[in-house]
Homo-oligomer: A and B are copies of this chain.
Amino acid sequence: MAETMKAVRKSTAGPGAELVEVGVPAPAEDEVLVKVASTSICGTDLHIYQWNEWANRRIVNLPQTLGHELAGEVVEIGSRVHSVKIGDYVSAETHIPCGRCWACRTDKQHICLNLKILGVDRDGCFATYITVPETVIWQNDRAIPPDQASAQEPLGNAVDTVLAEDVAGKTVLVTGCGPLGILTILVARASGATTVFATDISGYRLELAKTAGADHVFNVTEADPVPEIRELTGGIGVEVLLELSGAQAALDQGLEALAYGGRVSLLGLFDSKVKVDLNDGVIFKNARIYGIVGRRMYTTWYKTKRLLASGVLDISCAITHTFPLEKYAEAFELMASGKSGKIVLHP
């Protein structure tokens, strides 16, 4: 094994990142070292790259390697690692739980009270190698190619968003068709949703939504989608609203389009507090709302793996671009333009 490696790192508190040659890290006794085959870019990576207000407040360890979605091969293991071995084909859960707090002890490791996050609180995977605690290593199915295996992590968000309650035989509206929105449409489609509506403000993304299987797409910069959605659902509205945009207008439209007794999953983060018509949008509708964050550890991962490995779910259309790691700047620029689905880097 080489002694040094490539890594995309943020050295100083400010926009940008640089490709540097750094030493290959050694795994601690409860960690493994993974050689990264594919790593995909998340919105969080872009926020850190662009160094927005959240990143400035949140990231404290500099220099630090970016990235947290990955697939690769285990090349070294710590002395106390028991369930992972060299040669394993793995991905990693981004949320590193303490395992001992109230949340961890009540089936909520994904929202551990002492959560550490890969690529946020410790070095990430935009590099040739990464060390990962054994506790968050996920054994991949070899039927899933590395680009898709890397995307299992955000796909897990989409799975939990869609399957907070079942969707089989139901009508679904997805507001926001960025990479996560596209994955969400694919999961809804694979899980038996009968009509999938999708809204966005980007023609590119709405085209992608159609490719992913949305039946009806609406560019909300052109017209209010609610009357047509209501008409296409026989006046009932959609039984399921999956909010991925984090946009006030999308939330308003979504709640207006929601059927009585409907269900909402919220995954998209909002820039600030939003105004909500709780009376007409939630209370009188007898609606149920689920806040979705992370992925259930590891119920969601098992579902996600099976969906991909069985071929029931094919997410290849959601991965629109791949770049060598060296072209990370180009990749970030493309992602910022909104004209991409999921982007994968190859170290």
Contact = CB atoms under 8 A, between A and B. Distances in A.
How many monomers of this chain does the complex have? 4
User: Which of the listed residues A163, A166, A283 has the most CB atoms from chain B within 10 Å of its own CB?
Assistant: A283
Contacts of A165: 166
Interface string A161-173: 0110111111100
Given A266-B278, A288-B289, A111 B312 contact: no
B169 A303 contact: yes
User: Which of the listed residues A113, A191, A285 has the most CB atoms from chain B within 10 Å of its own CB?
Assistant: A191
Interface string A202-222: 000000000000010000000
A231 B216 CA distance: 42
A18 B37 CA distance: 61
A97 to B, nearest CB: 12
Interface size class of A (residues with CB under 8 A): 35 or more
A195 B310 contact: yes
A299 B286 CA distance: 15
Contact of A168 (B163, B234, B296): B163
Q: Give the top 6 A-B pairs by smallest Cβ distance, nearest first.
A: A169-B303, A166-B166, A168-B191, A282-B291, A194-B310, A191-B192
Interface stretch (A6-14, A102-110, A337-345): A102-110
Given A83-B100, A192-B312, A310-B195, A111 B284 contact: yes
Interface in A55-93: 82-83
Nearest to A296: B107
Contacts of A169: 159, 163, 191, 302-304, 306-307
Nearest to A251: B278
A286 B194 contact: no
